[in-house]
Structure 1
């Protein structure tokens, strides 16, 4: 297992400052960025890039999201301690770790088998224990564990999956990037059984949310 050094920790402090400079104010989010060894989530040959504010390729043609994007989604989500959070797209596990660090009970789905196996082992090794990691189709969610306080989608969805809306508690928040090539970060707040309030933020770019095919 690679090490987490004082130098790495110093770089994380700088990264948190960069993210704060772009408008992130949630202390829990910034603390998570300061604490989580992002370089361990990436191939050792890319270690020098780990604390730059940019996305980077990982296994299975996926990416580890830009720290600012992770921070932005986490802040909009308004995670509270003990919140049940459904994450669609485990990926490298970095966002999963941020949510765990913020005190959430995380249920996460990944549809790339190679990535799922790797991330599941890795998160345990560095001390992050999501409630449940699933290999499966993010469009379907995890109805057996629903309803959730929060839902976060970490891949670009061409539309908002109905199954996910139905798994959100009344009073809950869902953050999802919606769109084909470029995505609009979208917040959906469930006001009642039938009503959702929508807020749109700026454009972001994500890898596509893939349907169940392996």
Structure 2
């Protein structure tokens, strides 16, 4: 179904995802509608509205829109608008989902109370994400106000300086459920992370990791996926 959701414009893409039931929340629909994906697909703006991954340079990709929608839907209950929610986006790449997550916690105009940190291990992508966000007035406000912070670092270790986090999104496949990331979740909090299957066949699965108000952790194996690996920066 996902491949049928491609559109000719950002509005058409999001409308198709909503009509197909891949987006179910109006909040997610509105947050994705207000971020033009073409600003974040520098290598192929004409393909920005396809429901498929696209290369962004440095051996990285921007995930398919339906996967971004799935992540937002999964994390949504831990990202209330204008309630001071703090979110970590690991493998932030060209900055698209970081911007969408900021819209969810800060509102479409960026005026609400909340913060999103995007972390990537490639300086060129961190610089690109900043440039991409500055293509819109809303993106500039989020950056200039400090409600979005884009940093260089090893996402496998999280970013404890700004934690703990209500929600953590991981945009590349980890070799394991890194304990450092679980430790940086609030109680309650949720993480959405693709993990290598460990079966030797290259399988990957989304894991949804919940920490309850008492600090108890539960892990749920969700759908099979295909992400680039969460690795060291290229030499």
**TM-score of the aligned structures, taking structure 1 as reference length:** 0.88
- Cα deviation, 1:187-206, whole Å, max 9, x if unaligned, reads 11102565211122211111
Residue 100 (structure 1) aligns with:
102
Return 5+ residue gaps in structure 2 as ranges: 1-6, 106-113
Rounded to whole Å, the distance in 1 between the matches of 2:227 and 2:210 is: 22
Say which SS state the counterpart of residue 206 (structure 1) adopts: coil
Structure 1 residues 77-122: Cα deviation after superposition (integer angstroms, max 9, x where no partner): 1121131001111101111111011125101111011111121232
Q: How many residues align?
A: 205
Q: Secondary structure at the match of 1:91?
A: coil
Q: Distance in 1 between matches of 2:226 and 2:16?
A: 19
Gap regions ≥5 residues in structure 1: 1-8
Other-structure match for 2:91: 89
Q: How do residues 18-37 of structure 1 correspond to structure 2 at under 5 angstroms?
A: 18-20=16-18, 21-37=20-36
* Contact kept in structure 2, 1:182 and 1:206, CA below 8 Å: no
Deviation at 1:125, TM superposition (A): 3.6
State how 1:51-90 maps to structure 2 within 5 Å. 51-78=49-76, 79-81=79-81, 82-90=84-92
Deviations 1:150-198 (A, max 9, x none): 1110111110111111000011011101115332111111025652111
Aligned twin of 1:4: none
Question: How far 1:40 moved relative to its partner?
Answer: 1.6
Residue 153 of structure 1 is matched in structure 2 by 170
- Please report the RMSD computed on the Cα atoms of aligned residues, expressed in angstroms: 2.0
Deviation at 1:147, TM superposition (A): 0.9
Residue 213 (structure 1) shift: 5.8
Distance in 2 between the 1:124 and 1:43 partners? 14
